[in-house]
Copies of this chain bind each other. A is one copy, B any other.
Amino acid sequence: MSAPRRFETEGRPEITVRVRVRYAECDPMNVAHHSVYPVWLEIARTELLREQGLAYRDLEASGVLLVVARMNLRYKKPALYDDEITVRCIVLPSAGVKIEHAYEVHREGVLLATAETTLVCVDKTGKMHPVPASLLE
């Protein structure tokens, strides 16, 4: 998937969350370890679900799971310990059993990273399940 173009994202559901970089998330290079970004993306994505009226906790309780099937990340500048960063998450046009999200991580207007994920919706037995319509628009 290429990076989302402007006209695609206009009017799409989106959210921006603030996260402070934890000491335990930083590595000997003095920057947030690259494995932490997926956790931040998940926080933003989950908050977006909540804004769309669906706590992921309740979704799971109802027997529907969203599984990460694909994740692409590009790291442009490091995030440092104690930085307050923002993670913007937007739902890309999606259909069927998949939801695509795109992300931007910023610190004070500076772009630190971009990412995209594809989630697949499954039931408790692992079978594909249509994404609840409220999550797509």
A residues apposed to B, CB below 8 Å: 22-24, 26-30, 33-36, 38-39, 42-43, 46, 55-57, 60, 65, 67-76, 78, 80-82
**Contact of A46 (CB < 8 Å), options: B23, B27, B60:** B23
Which of chain B's residues have a CB closer than 8 A to the CB of A70? Answer: 72-75
Contacts A24-B27, A24-B33 supplied; 9 other A-B pairs, CB < 8 Å: A24-B39, A27-B27, A28-B60, A29-B67, A34-B71, A35-B36, A69-B74, A69-B76, A71-B72
Q: How many copies does the complex hold?
A: 4
**Contact of A82 (CB < 8 Å), options: B29, B55, B76:** B55
User: Of A36, A46, A57, which is in contact with the most chain B CB atoms at under 10 Å from its CB?
Assistant: A57
Which of chain B's residues have a CB closer than 8 A to the CB of A81? Answer: 28, 57
